Structure formats: C-alpha cells, structure tokens
Amino acid sequence: MKSARQNVILQIIAEQDIETQSQLIDALAAHGVSSTQATLSRDIKDLQLVKELGKNGKYHYAVSGRSKSNDHEQRLRKIFRESVTSYVVAQNLIVIKTLPGLANAACATLDSMHIENLAGTLAGDDTAFLAMVDNQAALEFCHEIDDMI
C-alpha cells in the first residue's frame, strides 16, 4: 500500500501544482487513496519532496533534484514497468514473467522497496518468484503490481 500511495503522490505532483499537504490529501482522495496528515508527512520525507518556486510565483511540491537515491529508485521502477509481461499468484507465491534477461532487475526493484510482507525474491532469466508471508499478503501485493505496471 505504501509504495502504491507514494506512486500516486509522485503522479499527482507531476501533473498538478500542489502547494499544501491539505491539497495533496484531497488529490489523493480524488484518486481513491485515503491518507492521514502524519502518513503524508512521512511519505513526503521518504520521497524527499521539496517545495520549489513555480512559474506562477507560488511554491509547490516537487521531487528533489538532489535525490540520487530517488532517481535510482525511479529508474528501477521504470525498468520493472517495462519488463514485466505477466504475473500470477499461487497461494503465498507470486510468479512474475518478464522480458528475457530482466527478472533480476524486477527483483532488484522489489527488494529496494523494502516491502513489509515480502519474505524474499528469486530470479531466473525471465521468471521471478516472490515469497510473501501469507496468501493474503500475496493477493494484496498483486494490487500494487497492477498499480506499478
């Protein structure tokens, strides 16, 4: 849920000039994502968002240009989006099919996200296995995969 919410936050600030946390909470709600102010503050810190001066003379949230780790994470997410061809859940396992040679990149992306209920990943050439802590966690994470791709 955290990564999906943070992806929506990044999408919102890329599309709109958001000046306040209150506006961001409203925009999240319009995208079907509920959040508290405290959770949003943590997300802003995690994403290393800053306020920058816009063309209209007002400050708005933006991704920090100084954030190399965020750039790296965004690149990994892009690789994930572009490499995954399909996935299926089998009890507490998720089997992800990728383009040839990209299963390791898909696993690297997921490992870097520090997903709470992810026990581990294993990659071959074009297949990645994700072991979740239980069946419910696997089903829930499939919704996040939908959001990512």
DSSP 105-120: HHHHHHHHTT-TTEEE
pLDDT in tens, 70-83: 566 677 778 888 88
d(CA 149, CA 139): 16
Least confident of 71-75, 120-124, 143-147: 71-75
Q: What is residue 71's predicted lDDT score, i.e. its pLDDT?
A: 61
- Architecture of the 2-63 domain: Orthogonal Bundle (1.10)
Q: What is residue 68's predicted lDDT score, i.e. its pLDDT?
A: 46
Residue 48 has pLDDT above 50, yes or no: yes
Alpha-carbon distances of 146 from 29, 82, 116, rounded to whole Å: 19, 13, 18
Q: What is residue 129's predicted lDDT score, i.e. its pLDDT?
A: 96
Q: What is residue 94's predicted lDDT score, i.e. its pLDDT?
A: 96
Q: Looking at residues 78-100, what average pLDDT do you find?
A: 92
Q: What is the largest CA-CA distance in the chain?
A: 53
Q: What is residue 65's predicted lDDT score, i.e. its pLDDT?
A: 62
Q: What is residue 123's predicted lDDT score, i.e. its pLDDT?
A: 94
CATH top class, domain 68-148: alpha beta
Name the residue ranges covered by the structural domains of the chain: 2-63, 68-148
